[in-house]
Amino acid sequence: MNAQRLVSIIAPCRNERVHIAAFCADALAQQLPAGWRLELCIADGGSDDGTREQLALLAAADGRVRCIDNPGRIVSTGLNRALAAAGGEVIVRMDIHTTYAADYVAQCLAALAQTGADNVGGPWRAEPAAGAGPMAQAVAAAFQSAWVAGGAASRRLEHAGWVDTVYLGCWPRASFERFGGFDESLVRNQDDEHNLRIRRGGGRIWQSPHIRSRYRPRGALRQVFSQWFQYGYWKPFVIVKHRQPASLRHLVPAAFVGLLALGTVLALVGGPAWPLGGLALAYGAAVLGLSVAVALSARLPLAVAARVPVVIAAYHLGYGLGSWPGWWDALRGRVGRTRFGALTR
């Protein structure tokens, strides 16, 4: 056993009593290549719903499970705590609300060996929970569209190649020694910032369609809007830190919301109303076109397809509206507001 190579799975969590046992079972059931063994390091951010007690039982039953304290209570501090405790030569990040193919870790190891990348991962595949209602199904269908996400390669399930970021990630430990850990000033977007730091430092990131997982997205429109508002708020902190966006698609929602606000002000002070009307009409047409494409590609029933336009708008407007206070705080050198980091589930 001691001669085997070690891969460490790390995961932050807080108040996940309903999901933690299934997640641990999923992670521990990974089928590894010969010569490898795994450990599971979970950083708990002060759970008070019974999660910690479940983790203690799981750790007592299986020596591969370790529970680490995360007093910072956010994802970035949890990842760094777990990373510091992990002993593996390869680090695999997992998310509690995602399920994984039995060969997920094996495919990560294979991709690292084949490409020599500094980080590898698979596409971000969204799938609603069993028995989910029409809104949850619409959220997952819209989420999966690469064009709803501005052309992001991470939503393309068959894409293989070099990318700017991947879902979750798997790194040789040397990547963290070279590029550092996760930025603990960021409540959201710490993964995008880390991937940007890798690329700016001369590293490379690879996406493989063989690294398969299924993410369970939020099921309520309010939660979706709040989640993407937070993503939008924290993105300017990443851009200001590095003086460049990871991708131009991150700037478009804020620009759109700004133009909407400018057109509204012009109309209210007696100026021409056509800029606002034209912009709203163009966006409505774009959302309608995207919605039809999503509905046809996913073969959605009418009750689900009818909800897709409002879900797409929630993604875009939430991100765009969140970006503006983010820019206001980031450009003034302020610390990000903790109220924009509350859990959205």
d(CA 79, CA 42): 9
pLDDT value at residue 335: 80
pLDDT value at residue 2: 58
Are 205 and 163 within 8 A, CB to CB? Answer: yes
Establish if 107 belongs to a structural domain.
yes
d(CA 48, CA 27): 23
The CATH number of the domain holding residue 176 is 3.90.550.10
* pTM for the full predicted model: 0.87
pLDDT value at residue 342: 58
Within 10 angstroms of residue 225's Cβ, the number of other Cβ atoms is 22
pLDDT value at residue 341: 65
Establish if 206 belongs to a structural domain.
yes
Nearest to 201 by CA among 240, 251, 242, 245: 242
Taking 70 as the pLDDT cut, the residues of the chain under it are: 1-2, 246, 341-345
The radius of gyration computed from the CA coordinates of the chain, to the nearest angstrom, equals: 21
Classify burial at 325, counting beta carbons within 10 Å of its beta carbon; exposed 0-12, middle 13-18, buried 19 or more: middle
d(CA 5, CA 37): 6
Q: Which two tokens stand for residue 210?
A: 């063989």
Establish if 210 belongs to a structural domain.
yes
pLDDT value at residue 273: 86
Are 99 and 213 within 8 A, CB to CB? Answer: yes
The length of the chain, given as a count of residues = 345
Range of the domain at 97: 5-131+152-217
pLDDT tens-place string over residues 177-231? 999 999 998 888 899 999 999 999 999 999 999 999 999 888 889 999 999 999 9
Instruction: Name the domain count of the chain.
Output: 1
pLDDT value at residue 292: 95
Establish if 51 belongs to a structural domain.
yes
Within 10 angstroms of residue 331's Cβ, the number of other Cβ atoms is 12
pLDDT value at residue 83: 96
